[in-house]
Amino acid sequence: MQETAATDVARSRDTSFHQHLTDREGVLGTLFLLPAILYIAVLVGIPFFLAIAFSMTDVTVGNTSLDFVGLENFRRIIRTPQFQRALINAFLFTLISQVIIIILANVLAVVLSQEFRGKWLARTLIILPWATPIALGTIGWLWFLDSKFSPIDWILQNVGLLGPGTLLGPGRHLNFLGREWLAMASVMTVYVWRLLPLSTVILMAGLTSIPEDLVDQGQVDGASFWRIHFQIKIPLVLPILYIALLFGLILTFGDMVVVFVLTRGGPVYYTQVLATWAYFKGIEGGSLAEGAAIALFLFPLLLAVAILILRTARRMEVT
Amino acid sequence: MAKFKRGLIRLLIYGVVLAFCLFSAFPFLVMLINTFKQDSDLYRPQNNPFIYNAPPTLDHLRLLFLETNYTKFLWNSFFVGVLVVIITLVVTIPAAYSLARLVGHWGERAGISMFLIYLVPPTLLFIPLFRMVVAFGLNDSVWSLVLVYPTISIPFSTWLLMGFFKSIPRDLEEAAMVDGYSRFMAFVKVIMPLSLSGVIAVVVFTFTLTLHEFIYALAFISSSDQRTISVGVPIELIRGDVFFWQSLLAAAVIVAIPVSIVYSLFLDRLIAGFTAGAVKG
Amino acid sequence: MAVVEIRGIRKYFDKVKAVDGIDLSIKKGEFLVILGPSGCGKTTLMRMIAGLERPTAGEIVIGDRVVNDLPPRARQIAMVFQSYALYPHMTVFNNIAFPLKAQKVPKRAMQEKVEWAASMLAIAQLLDRKPRQLSGGERQRVALARALVKEPTVLLLDEPLSNLDAKLRASARDELQRFQRHLGITTIFVTHDQVEAMGLGDRIVVMSGGKVRQIGTPQEVYHDSADTFVATFLGSPGMNLVERDNFLVGFRPEQFIPKEATKSQDNLKSLPFKVNRVEYLGAEQLVYGVIEGTIDDDSLILAKLSSELTLRIEVGQCYDFVVQQQQLRFFDKSTGQRIEPRPF
């Protein structure tokens, strides 16, 4: 730690100076803050501005020369159908999966706050999706949704819902990742699967911080369980719900791994999202500048959403 | 009548819990079973995927551990994880304390800005960062990750710990200072011991991040023995069009189960830390 | 007519016997105070009456029905918590209206009732505010309004005055009592403050260690204390106890006065009293000292004297202090129970 090194040196010279240093709040405050600020300035700030710079040049993987082209890259990419689809998908996937997650997290948080046997086992199982590295968990789903070997297909076949002359169609396989809408639904399902544990934990954090007295009072006042839940608890955890929502939005909107591993943006480009399209265009396509330009679309949107949510959450502080 | 109703509610709770457990864990069940399935069994669509139609085998595990760099990947991820956690804690704890106590009004704004910095997506930064990593000579080494991952964990952790510290009453530090400690020592002796939950929250989030991170790991490293689990497994076990499914799935399960058990053990602490940091802060 | 009956109630938390066998019968319109130190089980008892805890054994009867299996909302009770438990995100109006909403009372009737409760507690002008904008006293009234608005059979109050400033407490006590008399609502009031208990209760239930020590009117528990616990807990300061042979003798500080200050001279027990300290409290003085002479006891004895006394009490001096014989109380040394008077 920088500060202990400084104070050690100071100590060896003059004890009264040491006292002063560790007491002077202004100095201490700045010293404490310095490493973090340096880290961020150098490794986030500089690349950020570099990325902006790249997006306005014609830099590619091949040539290292930089020629300024202004907003040309932006103009070009906005017109491509892949970009437009990627933009729409990013919003669609994020919003739909988040709504589902919030609803399910509410149910799960309520259930997990009850006492029941095997609670520890249940918690461990429910946390599994969050504990797995994204790429690996998604690979698991790759098998689960495989066009030939999916266990889901097998179950549906044996229950009589899949196959010739059944409800779900003549084919013996649903081909989850090869059909446009199914593929989109699959991506969203993986998002929900992965983020539900996190949102539930955040929500549980909020629920446990509600004073016991208020719940007791609600019971004495004659409210049923659900009335207490919706009219007392939920309003009080709304700021937390917003934070859970915010995290979910951030992690889903900027996510690249799930789509990359599950569908590679396919079929065709129907499940492409901004982050994956930026990668494909930039690295595999070779046009670093365009990749940077596409990726830049992510940031302002995320920023706007974050500011909106944080402001709303602050305003809702009731105590 | 009341007993009947209570019984019904119990049943409902168990039912809901079961449903969620199935949703979360079912893919893992399949992955676990498949780990030991022979090729001939696995690659027959008409076979029941939940039982062993041919005797289970350890071949795929053998492949995973002996013929790939899986153990190296595990070690690399763990190594990077531990170092990143240490760096994060060392940088974040003082920074969060500073923002919570020492810098007055603009501390609040700075805290929010920290959080907003967390929003800058790696997909945007990885190209320029790659150039910088090369410039530092860390190209193709785990050390590039050790250097860069804290940029993701520090902003979020600072925001969380800042809220956490704010929820500790000032009285405690002031009492310590009256008792004869300097500001700094009051921090060490009073605040630190009380911050266990917050620190656990930071450790869990940071470690999760390291295990999961994909883009930087993909972009910065090309040598197999330097890769982490997140990228190494897909790259090594998917060769062209050929998927070594059983080993792939085994790789996922082997990491997921212990991590999940550990998280579950710390869950109450984690929730307490998050509550104090994000809720009351 | 008993509105609330408590029969053989016990509550055990694993090894801890929070409430250990209590029988109680509360009359309609009565203001009953449950008094005891922290941890005596009074709050647990109240929570069982409210339905927030299930008894380990025994029955609770409210208005002819055994309510053990009924949730709080089916018991026709209202409760005010020590913290007031006002819903921070609702206005005062909505806080008070909440129980009515739970009963699905139609809007117009609800409006009327809320305004009725609010004006009764003089908070009608606060209906649009949020709890965080109110003072402690105002919050307490909102909590009371909310309790009364559903016209409960029993009103439960858990130390509702302890969060108020000392000065405010006295006037709040007065209002509360007038209020209760006016409405005639059966009230159970839990407190650790014996002054409050004496001032408010029609009857007082003195509790300690999960058991009832005595039930009686304020006069009964003060002048005819059933055991040493009640005797020393009630009164500020509590009863003096002196050991003698195999029993204890008790007399209250205000009954212990200098011989010179008494008018009649019959039936007095005289004790030599050596003064260690005098506390001047304005209207009174508290004199601390020990009994000298034949009684072999070093315990600190207090005398509570009016400051108007002409006799000046000096530290270090020994005086003849007297107690009237009929004021002496005798207690068994080992059990603490009250026993017959005997020579002393």
**Taking residues B33-51, what's their average pLDDT?**
82
Cα angle C285-C290-C294, degrees, rounded to a multiple of 5 = 140
The pair of structure tokens assigned to B75 is: 């070690």
Domains C2-223 and C243-339 share a fold: no
**Among all residues of chain A, which has the CA nearest to that of C74?**
A222
Helix/strand/coil percent split, chain C, to 5: 30, 35, 35
Residue C60 phi, psi dihedral angles, 5° rounding = -120, 125
Query: How confident is the model over B192-230, as pLDDT tens digits?
Result: 888 888 888 889 889 988 888 998 998 888 888 888 988
Question: How does DSSP assign C239-257, residue by residue?
Answer: -EEEEETTEEEEE-GGG-E
For residue C138, pLDDT beyond 60: yes
User: Given C72, C89, C101, which is nearest A219 (Cβ)?
Assistant: C72
For C16, the enclosing helix (H) or strand (E) is strand C16-27
**pLDDT score of C108:** 92
Residue type for position A25: E
**pLDDT score of C1:** 67
- The residues with which C17 forms a beta bridge, in sequence order, are C12
User: Given B124, B214, B249, which is nearest A135 (Cβ)?
Assistant: B214
Say if strands C31-35 and C203-208 run parallel, antiparallel, or are unpaired. Answer: parallel
Say if strands C65-66 and C57-62 run parallel, antiparallel, or are unpaired. Answer: antiparallel
Tell me which chain A residues have a C-beta less than 8 angstroms from the C-beta of B31.
140, 143
In chain C, what are the domain boundaries?
2-223, 243-339
CATH number reported for the structural domain that contains residue A232 in this entry: 1.10.3720.10
Interface confidence (ipTM) of the complex:
0.84
For C119, the enclosing helix (H) or strand (E) is helix C107-120
**Among all residues of chain C, which has the CA nearest to that of A237?**
C89
**Owning domain of residue A179:** 80-315
Range among B184-193, B217-226, C41-50 with highest mean pLDDT value = C41-50
- How many CA atoms are closer than 13 Å to the CA of A58, on its beta-carbon side? 7
**pLDDT score of A161:** 79
Average pLDDT over chain A, rounded to whole?
80
Query: How confident is the model over B24-37, as pLDDT tens digits?
Result: 988 888 888 888 88
Whether chain A has a CB inside 8 Å of the CB on C130: the answer is yes
Distances (CA, A) of B278 to A55, A209, A245, B190, C319: 35, 11, 13, 21, 67
Residue A172: other Cβ atoms inside 10 A? 17
**Does A220 reside within a domain?**
yes
Distance CA A190, CA A261 (A): 11
**pLDDT score of B242:** 81
Sheet holding C318-324, edge to edge: C257-258, C318-324, C268-280, C284-291, C301-306
**Does A15 reside within a domain?**
no
Distance CA C177, CA B216 (A): 72
For residue B85, pLDDT beyond 90: yes
User: Given C72, C89, C146, which is nearest A236 (Cβ)?
Assistant: C89
- The residues with which B63 forms a beta bridge, in sequence order, are none
**pLDDT score of B279:** 60
For A151, the enclosing helix (H) or strand (E) is helix A151-159
Q: B121 and A254: CB-CB below 8 Å?
A: yes
Distance CA B31, CA B21 (A): 15
Superfamily of domain C243-339: Nucleic acid-binding proteins (2.40.50.140)
Range among A27-31, B44-48, B63-67, B80-84 with highest mean pLDDT value = B80-84
Higher pLDDT, B276 or A44: A44
Q: Measure CA of the first residue to CA of the last residue in chain B; give whole Å.
A: 45
Shortest Cα–Cα distance, A157 to chain B (Å): 9
Q: B128 and A123: CB-CB below 8 Å?
A: no
For residue A12, pLDDT beyond 50: no
Q: A213 and C103: CB-CB below 8 Å?
A: no
Place of tokens 């945007």: B124
Q: Is A289 exposed, middle or buried (0-12, 13-18, 19+ CB in 10 A)?
A: buried
**Among all residues of chain A, which has the CA nearest to that of B126?**
A47
pLDDT band for position C37 (cuts 50, 70, 90): very high
pLDDT band for position A62 (cuts 50, 70, 90): low
Q: Which of C167-171, C198-202, C251-255 has the lowest mean pLDDT?
A: C167-171
Q: Is B195 helix (H, G, I), strand (E, B) or coil?
A: coil
User: Strand (E) positions, A243-304?
Assistant: none
Distance CA A20, CA C336 (A): 61
Q: Nearest to residue A55, comparing CAs of A287, A273, A298, A317?
A: A287
pLDDT band for position A16 (cuts 50, 70, 90): very low
A/C interface, count of CB pairs below 8 Å: 60
pLDDT band for position C59 (cuts 50, 70, 90): very high
CATH architecture of C2-223: 3-Layer(aba) Sandwich (3.40)
Contact A126, A195 (CB under 8 A): no
Shortest Cα–Cα distance, C52 to chain A (Å): 7
Higher pLDDT, C6 or A286: C6
**Does A144 reside within a domain?**
yes
Residue C341: other Cβ atoms inside 10 A? 11
Range among A109-118, A145-154, B162-171, C324-333 with highest mean pLDDT value = C324-333
Q: Which of B33, B93, B97, B120 to mutate to test the interface with A (most CBs of A within 10 A)?
A: B120
**Among all residues of chain B, which has the CA nearest to that of A105?**
B20
Burial pattern A73-99, b for ≥16 Cβ within 10 A else e, equals: bbeebeeeebbebbbebbeebbebbbe
**Does A24 reside within a domain?**
no
**Among all residues of chain C, which has the CA nearest to that of A226?**
C102
Counting the structural domains of chain A, the total is: 1
pLDDT band for position A13 (cuts 50, 70, 90): very low
**Does A66 reside within a domain?**
no
User: Given C73, C89, C103, which is nearest A219 (Cβ)?
Assistant: C73
For residue B51, pLDDT beyond 70: yes
